Every structure is written in structure tokens, then in C-alpha cells.
Amino acid sequence: MEAWRTVEVAACEELEGPSEGELEAIRAARFSVEAVHEREAVTDHDVAAFVDVLATSAGEAGRWIHFGLTSSDVLDTALALQLRAASDQILAGAGELVALLVRRAREHAETVCVGRTHGVHAEPTSFGLKLAGFATEAARNRTRLHGAFAQASVGAISGAVGTHAAHSPDFEARVLARLGLKGEPVSTQVVARDRHAELLSAIALAGAGLERLATEIRHLQRTEVLEAAEPFRAGQKGSSAMPHKRNPIVSERICGIARLLRSYAQAGLEDVALWHERDISHSSVERVALPDATILLDYAQSLIVRVVDGLVVDPDRMRANLELTHGALYSQRALLALVDTGLGRDEAYRIVQRLSQRAWDEGVELRELLGAERLELDLDAIFDEGAFLRHVPELIARLDRL
């Protein structure tokens, strides 16, 4: 309602009719939420009730309040003010997350861990490189959010059905300039709702990015993996029944929030198609979806920042997990080395597959098994861990662009 008042006052300030004394009375006019609700019980119209209360507070000057405006002029322009204010906080949080992920990626650039595909050990990688991927995604989401908030923070003072019959486009431009807003080029009494759908979609994408990171942390914290874990505060309890438990509850909470954010994106898309110049089927949806989505994303960002900042990383466990398959992680390097000696790819593949499965199943080192085959191979080169990390500094350096 305070945003509504800001719009009403700005419109009055661009009218030709009010005297300076009347403008002072309009600027001084106030309302209470309780008074508006009491009046709405009579009018059954929220903006009309608000205008009645504000105009009464302004005395005789109140006749200029809402002069030539329709409810959507006030509602949509005030919504733009609210979205702009929300964007300041959300974009600050998005930027904080990017900076934090970049810092921790650099910190762990040389921390070697298992890379997994399908949940199964694949080849060694760098934990810093993992985090670098999340950092670049977070930066894309920051960019998407910035653009989505900017294009949705748009006002309109175009009157009933958007014809500017009561006030000219120039009047609209002057009012919006006072508010620091851009205008909808052609409104239909309302600002087009594809704008808000784009914003809710960007918020859902940002939530999905947080969920991807939170899911990774949940997997890494599993007892069988335990390579990284959420911070666990002194005095915290993981379970009411089992004192040993330390659960990834914050990451799980983020994953749940992401589900809600996706549902709001769907609701935003449903709001795009309105009847003719407008109806209000979008209104009840937005009054839940836009506040909830912005609040939830801001909250989820603060949660993931807490988790990433305090993330407990265990390089020794990462090293132990690298040994679980007894060198089978080097199978591609062995395959390529055999092909390089002149063997056909399929023949080389069959040899390495057979030996890798023996290493994995029988607990015998793949290097030992390859050596026993008396193949002309440089085993030191094949089992060189540094081969997997030689380009990591170059990839981590790309984070400077963020």
C-alpha cells in the first residue's frame, strides 16, 4: 500500500490542476492498513478502498488523488517498484554466491577427487573444477535474474483499456520518470504478464541451479562417500533418536524450495493469457507467487551461501575413494596407449575392459595386471594423475571473467 501511495502522489505531482498547497496536503496524506481493510469491507475493492482512505486524509485536496487513473495503473506501477526493491536484495545475494564459489574453487583447484557419471566412478578430477562449474552457472543465473527483473520492473499510466484517454503518453512518461521506471510501450490497461512469467522462470532457473549444487553436496555427504559435508554447529542435533546423525538438512531444504519455485514459474505462464484488454485472473496468482518466489529465492541463496562458506572438505577421504577401483579410473588412458601402439580400438577396448573389471572385482591393481600382459606400454605415463589436472589452472583462470 505504501507503494500504491507513492504512485498516487507521483501522478498528482504531474497534474496541472492541484495548487502547491493541495500537493502538500496530498504528500502528507496517510493511511492505515486497518482503515483500508475496514473500507474494503464496504467497497469490496481494494484500490477503491485505499483511494477513499487516502483522499479523506488529504482533505479537500483528496479530490485529485486517483484523478484519471484506473486501478491497474496503480497496481502494476507499484508492483514494478516492489520488484525493483526485491531485485536489489536478490541480485546482491546472487553476486555473493558467485564470489564465494569462485573463492572456494580456487582454494581447491589442486584437490583431487573422483569424477562420477551415472553415480559411478569415472575419472579423477579436481574438486575446485567441480565448484568452478557451479560458479559459472551461478553467474549465468545472476545475469538472467538481472535481465528478468529489469524487464519486469515496468510501469503503466495508460488508463482504462490502455488508450490514454484521460492522460497522455507524455503524462505517463513524466510520472514514471519521477518513479525511476520505464513504461510499457503499449499496455492493455495492464502491463503484459509475459514479463512476470519471464521473471518467475528466471527465479525457477536460479532455484534449479541452487538445487543442483545442494544435490551434489547431499551426495558427497553420504556415509559411503563423505568427501564433503555441510557445517555442523556446536549443539546442533541431527536426529531426535540417533545421536550420531549429521544430516544435510539445509541442502535438502534448498531442494524443496526449488520445487516450489518451479511451480511458480508454471503459474506465471498461466497468467500470460488474459481476456481481451484484461481480466483479474492473474491477480490472485501473483499476490501469492511473486512475494513467495522472491522471498524464497532470497532465503535459499542465503542458505547455500552458509553451506558453501562452511563446507567441510575431506581431501584424505577423496584420496581414499580414488583407490576404490584399484586403478580402473585410468582405463581410458590405457585404452588410448594401446591404440597408439597399433592395436585396433575394439581389440584394445576388450583388453582394458577385461583387466579393469578384474581390478575392480578382485582388488588387484590395474597397473599390475597390465604389466603382467607384457604389453609395450609406458605404465608411468598411463598412471600419471597429473594428466587429468594439467588444464585445471587454465579452466580455473576463466573464473576471473565472473
**With bands split at pLDDT 50, 70 and 90, how would you rate the model's confidence at 246?**
confident
Domain count of the chain?
3
Average per-residue pLDDT for the chain = 96
Domain identity same for 314 and 345: no
Q: Is the pLDDT of residue 23 over 80?
A: yes
Point out the domain boundary residue: 67, 85, 120.
Answer: 67
Residues 336-391 have pLDDT tens digits of: 999 999 999 999 999 999 999 999 999 999 999 999 998 889 999 999 999 999 99
Residues 155-171 have pLDDT tens digits of: 999 999 999 999 999 99
**With bands split at pLDDT 50, 70 and 90, how would you rate the model's confidence at 244?**
confident
Domain identity same for 46 and 193: no
Domain identity same for 135 and 82: yes
Domain identity same for 188 and 88: yes
Q: Is the pLDDT of residue 137 over 80?
A: yes
Number of residues in the chain: 402
Q: Is the pLDDT of residue 236 over 90?
A: no
Domain identity same for 222 and 335: no
**With bands split at pLDDT 50, 70 and 90, how would you rate the model's confidence at 307?**
very high
Point out the domain boundary residue: 32, 48, 67.
Answer: 67
Domain identity same for 90 and 205: yes
The pLDDT score that the predictor gives to residue 396 is 97
Q: Is the pLDDT of residue 240 over 80?
A: no
Residues 59-101 have pLDDT tens digits of: 999 999 999 999 999 999 999 999 999 999 999 999 999 999 9
Q: Answer yes or no: 239 catalytic.
A: yes
The pLDDT score that the predictor gives to residue 14 is 97
Q: Is the pLDDT of residue 262 over 80?
A: yes
Name the residue range of residue 375's domain. 324-401
Cα distance between residue 115 and residue 129, in whole Å: 10
Q: Is the pLDDT of residue 38 over 90?
A: yes
Domain identity same for 346 and 312: no
Active-site residue among 32, 239, 284, 302? 239
The pLDDT score that the predictor gives to residue 233 is 80
Domain identity same for 267 and 372: no
Domain identity same for 23 and 138: no
Q: Is the pLDDT of residue 235 over 80?
A: no
pTM value?
Answer: 0.94
Point out the domain boundary residue: 297, 320, 343.
Answer: 320
Q: Answer yes or no: 167 catalytic.
A: no
Domain identity same for 158 and 182: yes
CATH code of 57's domain:
1.10.275.10
Residues 175-225 have pLDDT tens digits of: 999 999 999 999 999 999 999 999 999 999 999 999 999 999 999 999 999
The pLDDT score that the predictor gives to residue 238 is 74
Nine-digit cell at 130? Answer: 567441480
CATH code of 134's domain:
1.20.200.10
Domain identity same for 157 and 269: yes
Average pLDDT over residues 288-315: 98
The pLDDT score that the predictor gives to residue 96 is 98
Active-site residue among 118, 240, 244, 276? 118
The pLDDT score that the predictor gives to residue 232 is 81
Flag the least confident range among 154-163, 176-185, 239-248, 270-279.
239-248
Percentage of the chain with pLDDT > 70?
Answer: 100
The pLDDT score that the predictor gives to residue 374 is 84
CATH code of 357's domain:
1.10.40.30
Domain identity same for 38 and 135: no
Average pLDDT over residues 292-314: 98
